[in-house]
Structure 1
């Protein structure tokens, strides 16, 4: 099994290398790893994030650990370019790297160089050689906001090697009770159900929102739908909604920001109805523009402050994006049908603060209900905000545990 794992890792690298000749993201993945060199540290705290979403999820713990251990260098690694390229200059870290390919030699060299005393991985990503090297050196490895599902390889008869990875983890901080039960079923009991650290992050963001004067100017007094992290399948449905609500404003923050994708979105919308954020501020002749397309990174979490309701993209693909950012501002959230892996989406649906749709008719129906039934809208908004307010607190549990473990 270990031989197959090592072969699989190298095949994966080969596939990414071949893709790098025509795929910009794959090119960054290869180029970034080839060009980086590592600075030697002592007694560092190493955080690993798969991508940008996991960074934002783990950020509250990162910030608190930095305050708790101000004398220790912080090292961050990313697997994906979408995380590294956006956060490579974050002031929260002393160094930011791409995670090297998971081979025994790479893992040993990297860990020898950064010399971590605490290692924290967010949500998922289990790399055998890195975990084994940390375990061998008795470096405590923590998983935060962990979540497990029945169908994962850890719980299959052939998942022995993957279960061995889990044995390398000092403690799991889990999002839900079901994850704890699954791990207990394979005799892993070093667990705490602490919740999802994203709730701490979105609560903090909503408590201290950024002011965006150009957005305020664009919106004026109009009701606004914030369409966050949208994909083409989402945008096709939303384009029809734009025509049906000419008195509304729509702000699109597409998941992919290539010029091709942005132009495709603009072509879906009514003629002369949209303007790009990079073209703001609005001139007098643009006052009638109905749609704004955000063509940069990093604004979405602040945009929800201006929304009457939100549509969250991804639900017609591999899964929805972050619904909590919108819910924290107390606005109802709508998303596509592929939400079942996301506990927060299921919770919001049960509270009638979140709504899953499968087609244009269902989207129209829920928007109409939220627009015409003010009492229903108000209750939905209150439930969304209350959910975030009552579920926060995972960060304090995690940092307190790690701090107490270090002094025990």
Structure 2
């Protein structure tokens, strides 16, 4: 870790250029921050936006169960930090996770003095884990998932990762597959349990459906609309090309597109205009009009109302080998789901949705366009898919309650 510190500094410089205020918070990555108001805290680490969203119901449950304990939430990315601020404001203490350098980890733990550490999904940092054990801080991995690609990535550091995982008191895995992969990586089999996916327990914004209906009125109740959420580079152009094909069959169709990363907002807008499409944006136009063929959602944290407003949702990161993003967000709003071939980040959930009829998989841009046209022309089919997706979402809830019970036990010990 010391040897790669010069590369870390270069990465900080690059990120500071991309995200204006990030350079002001560099010291946090080395354990320097004002943590005077947090002692005996409960610490939750969620690396970025997806993990913060997954942790939301757990953090809210912890706040209700332990109202007197300060809650510390760490992230790694600026977008994750912004999402914490949107969801929790000043009700939690947010700081960036320090790099896995011994002095930085020690300084961080000395500041926040956690009664317990809860790592969300997949973050295995040897110095952090070993220091928690030395300081007697119980460590838990909640909503644990481990893709086949991550398993392969950790294996070259096998003995070090095994040592780190042996510091963990409990691993609450999303699925049997995730549990088995953690065991293969070296976790104590007796400390790995399957609790389900906490993302099923995410709160559906109480007014998302109402906001969706209001958005829908702006472009017409009968106008066919589909959304591509959390899209990535290359994939965004593929989605726009698919929409050109859709327009040949459905000339009044509307595409709502929400790039995963803010730095891509302008690029996607420019790409759509270069293809001759009429484009609106959230920042400039607020809502789509009847004149817009494409509407870029260039804002963070506003995806759910647009999922509610759309007839059909394509969840990004799946036409390109990113592994897919959260299919539960549209499912929670009874919006039918389309995914590409690469869904290893949400493998079991996606398969369940497909098997139960709430989602469909497409293998290419041509298949995406064809399936969008087919479904937008089948109102009854869309309604059946949406109902099936919501049923899957409702039936899988309960993971947070199980995880909270385990946290109670560890804190009592």
- Give unmatched runs, 5+ long, in structure 1: none
Mapped partners of 2:156, 2:33: distance in 1: 40
2:18 alignment partner in structure 1:
24
**How many angstroms apart in 2 are the aligned matches of 1:159 and 1:347?**
32
SS at match of 1:189: helix
Partner residue in 2 for 1:121: 119
Partner of 2:98: 100
Residue 325 in 1 paired to residue 329 in 2? yes
* In structure 2, C-alpha distance between the alignment counterparts of 1:168 and 1:232, rounded to whole Å: 38
Question: Aligned runs of 1:7-406 on 2, under 5 Å?
Answer: 7-8=3-4, 10-17=5-12, 19-20=14-15, 23-25=17-19, 31-34=24-27, 37-40=33-36, 41-88=38-85, 90-91=88-89, 93-150=91-148, 152=151, 156=155, 158-185=157-184, 186=186, 187-201=188-202, 204-205=203-204, 209=208, 211-212=210-211, 215-221=215-221, 222-239=223-240, 240-244=244-248, 245-258=250-263, 260-268=266-274, 270-271=276-277, 273-280=278-285, 287-315=290-318, 316-343=320-347, 344-406=349-411
In structure 2, distance between residues paired with 1:321 and 1:293: 18
Normalising by structure 2, what TM-score?
0.86
Q: TM-score, normalised by structure 1?
A: 0.87
Alpha-carbon distance change, 17 to 293 in structure 1, aligned in 2, over 3 angstroms? closer
Aligned 8 A contact 2:72 2:92 in 1: yes
CA distance in 1, matches of 2:159, 2:275: 51
Q: Note if contact 2:311-2:376 (Cα within 8 Å) is conserved in structure 1.
A: no
Separation of aligned partners in 1, 2:124 and 2:298: 33
Shift of residue 190, structure 1, vs aligned partner: 0.8
1:75 is paired with a residue whose SS is strand
Query: Does the CA contact (< 8 Å) of 1:28 and 1:81 recur in 2?
Result: no
Aligned length, in residue pairs? 396
Distance 1:157 1:242, change over 3 A: closer
**Does the 8 Å CA contact 1:236/1:268 hold for their aligned counterparts?**
no
CA–CA distance in 1 between the matches of 2:41 and 2:283? Answer: 39
Q: Which runs of 5+ in 2 are unaligned?
A: none
CA contact (8 A) 1:16 1:30 kept: no
Rounded to whole Å, the distance in 2 between the matches of 1:293 and 1:282 is 10
Q: Residues 200 and 394 of structure 1 are in contact (CA less than 8 Å); yes or no, is this contact kept in structure 2?
A: yes
Q: How far apart, in 2, do the equivalents of 1:282 and 1:92 lie?
A: 30
2:209, 2:383 → 1: CA distance?
A: 24
Structure 1 distance, partners of 2:176, 2:286, is: 48
Q: Distance in 2 between matches of 1:236 and 1:390?
A: 35
| Distance change (3 Å), C-alpha of 1:262 and 1:181 | closer
**CA 1:215–1:43: 2 relative to 1, 3 Å:** same
Cα contact 2:332–2:390 (8 A) shared by 1: yes
Out of 258-267 and 77-86, give the one that drifted further.
258-267
Per-residue deviation at 1:142?
Answer: 1.1
Q: Is the 8 A contact 2:52 2:83 kept in 1?
A: no
Q: 1:33 to 1:200 in 2, by over 3 A?
A: same
CA contact (8 A) 1:107 1:129 kept: yes
Aligned 8 A contact 1:217 1:282 in 2: no
Gap change, CA 1:400 and 1:31, over 3 Å in 2: same
User: Quick one: structure 1 residues 193 and 274, their matched pair in 2 at CA, closer, same or farther if it must change by over 3 Å?
Assistant: same
CA RMSD of aligned residues (A): 2.7
